[in-house]
Amino acid sequence: MSSHPRKILMSVSVATLLGSAQSAMADTTVRVMRVEISQVEKDYYAEIAREFENSHPGVNIELDYLSNEAYKSKLPTLLQSDQRPDIFYSWGGEALKEKVEAGFVKDLTAAMQDGWQARFPDSAIDAFTINGKIYGAPLYVTEVGFWANTALTEKAGVDVGAIDTWQDFLDAVTTLKEADITPIVVGAKDGWPMQFYWGSLATRLAGQQGFKAAKAGEGEGFAAPPFVQAGEKLEQLAELEPFQPGFMATTYERASGMFGDGEAAFHLMGDWDYLPSKQRSMSGEGVPDEDLRFISFPSVEGGQGNEATYGGLNGWAVTRDAPDMAVTFLKSLLSLDNQREAAKRGIFVPIVKGAEKALTTPYGRKVAKDIDQASYHQTFLDQDLGVSVGATVNDISNDLAQGVTSPEEAAERVEEAWQFR
């Protein structure tokens, strides 16, 4: 018997997919909600759920998926309803803190004390620790960088291996345009893909101390010079008209498929886009691996964060009134064996200690190395700064790309949003 009605979300019951009658007999249902992912990753979760159901008679695991934007917009409402999931995907940061303060999230501190916490690096647990209590379990770590189609860059005479600085990247964009090749595809309609530019540049320029000072309200806060300069550099790029026609009307999912179809040389995106880009391409094969590179975001002259990485430290949170079986399933989902399997299949860079040794793709191994060597890891600004400030960061990034706001105005808008959050 299900613990929640199901009228809003389209559920994919693992038991149903398997044609089993188990769901009808189940007396405990654990609902898991996640952002839309590749079929390969869906299959991975379905297999884990099926195995768990088989070893826990009477338990039914339901896996629900929503597109990225639908997930972000609907989750707050769902958490206030009796249709809330038991386990939901989380990026941590202020966005999770807001949900904790609203009373929606279960405290996992005690559950972590039986050895579960020891599976993860301390930094990963810190990302889900709020006021000394643990409110989430990490799943994987991600890095934002440039996916590059070397068949196109080499055709234009661009050596992606030689791109080290922001000026190197601007020069590459110019060369690609001269060769009549679209330099960059971006899904600006969703906001956050363009925010990856401002966020990456701000990380390079401000560094950990710059963000720490801005959050503490020191000096000019988010209106300080590094954040203005991030806008100036995004403005520099936009003036080269590097994006595909109609970039403001393009979603992330569409941009991901366009890159897979070879419609642009670069796509600034997380390492997770490896499989989805292939799946969303017309051929289903995407850019061949021999033509695919993942390069770090360029360094910026004088930047205080050139040794940092920008990306996510994503995981799961459990809703306050979820059944105990939800925590039991989450521990199983995040076992060393399951994390190794994800690494082996190239799904993501795992966070459980030792699982990274199973990574098979050069992209995954590069990300694991980058993050291991980084001076710090800045998480996505639209999550780290909270929902309202994050929305402002997304907006100013798109406005800068369209030339409808100045770098100074953009930084002031972020500071104002932070002050009134």
90 vs 254: CA distance, rounded Å: 23
127 vs 65: CA distance, rounded Å: 24
Task: Assess contact for 185 and 259: CB atoms under 8 A.
Answer: yes
pLDDT tens digit at each of 421 positions of the chain: 334 444 334 444 444 444 444 444 458 999 999 998 889 999 999 999 999 999 999 999 999 999 888 998 899 999 999 999 999 999 988 889 999 999 999 999 999 998 999 999 888 898 899 999 999 999 999 999 999 999 999 999 999 999 999 999 999 999 999 999 999 999 999 999 999 999 999 999 999 999 999 999 999 999 999 999 999 999 999 999 999 999 999 999 999 999 999 999 999 999 999 999 999 999 999 999 999 999 999 999 999 999 999 999 999 999 999 999 999 999 999 999 999 999 999 899 999 999 999 999 999 999 989 988 888 889 999 889 988 999 999 999 999 999 999 999 999 999 999 999 8
Q: In sequence order, what are the residues at sequence separation of 6 or more whose Cβ sits closer than 8 angstroms to the Cβ of residue 33? A: 9, 64, 65, 66, 71, 75, 78, 85, 87, 88, 89
**pLDDT given at position 197:** 98
**pLDDT given at position 126:** 86
45 vs 271: CA distance, rounded Å: 19
* Residue among 142, 192, 139, 123 at smallest CA distance from 32: 139
Work out whether strand 349-350 and strand 266-270 pair parallel, antiparallel, or are unpaired. Answer: unpaired
Q: In sequence order, what are the residues at sequence separation of 6 or more whose Cβ sits closer than 8 angstroms to the Cβ of residue 261? A: 281, 282, 283, 286
Q: In sequence order, what are the residues at sequence separation of 6 or more whose Cβ sits closer than 8 angstroms to the Cβ of residue 302? A: 205
**pLDDT given at position 72:** 87
Rg (CA), the chain: 21
**pLDDT given at position 376:** 87
**pLDDT given at position 92:** 86
129 vs 19: CA distance, rounded Å: 40
301 vs 80: CA distance, rounded Å: 46
**pLDDT given at position 162:** 97
Residue type, position 421, single letter: R
Task: Assess contact for 276 and 39: CB atoms under 8 A.
Answer: no
**pTM of the full structure:** 0.85
> On the CB side of 174, how many CA atoms lie within 13 Å of its CA?
9
Task: Assess contact for 166 and 246: CB atoms under 8 A.
Answer: no
**pLDDT given at position 26:** 53
Overall residue count recorded for the chain in this entry:
421
Structure token digits, residue 330: 């989450």
3-state SS assignment for residue 36 = coil
How far is CA 361 from its chain centroid?
A: 19
**pLDDT given at position 10:** 40
Q: Which residues of 138-162 are buried (b: 16+ CB within 10 A; e: fewer)?
A: bbbbbbbbbbbbbebbeebebebee
